[in-house]
Amino acid sequence: MLFALICKDKPGSLQLRLDTRPTHAAYLEGLNAAGKLAFAGPFLDAGGKPEGSLVVVEAADKAEAEAIAAADPYALASLFDSVEVRAWNWVFNKPSA
């Protein structure tokens, strides 16, 4: 089942995001290698700077998706003001398996 991790950064945390990005990217690469990552990328503010993340993962249930979210280096660095984990159904433009 797919889960969307909708993460909003704390205000004024751009430098923390930039500093933590290499370990975050490595974490996502690991999820991708394990077949857990569908897609991911940052939300952008009006100036084009990142201010949050959308990460869609494959997980058995919401508890596993929450564990994936909690283990993200951004979460461990306390970058996020909020994280919402929601079951998601990919209907249109889904790439073939």
Model confidence at 46: pLDDT above 70: yes
Q: Against a cut of 0.85, is the pTM above it?
A: yes
Per-chain mean pLDDT for the chain: 96
Give the confidence band of 97 by pLDDT, cuts at 50, 70, 90.
low
Tokens describing residue 81 = 């003001």
Residue with tokens 């058995």: 60
Tokens describing residue 5 = 């991790």
Residue with tokens 């995001």: 17
**8 burial level (CB within 10 Å; 0-12, 13-18, 19+):** middle
Residue 62 pLDDT: 98
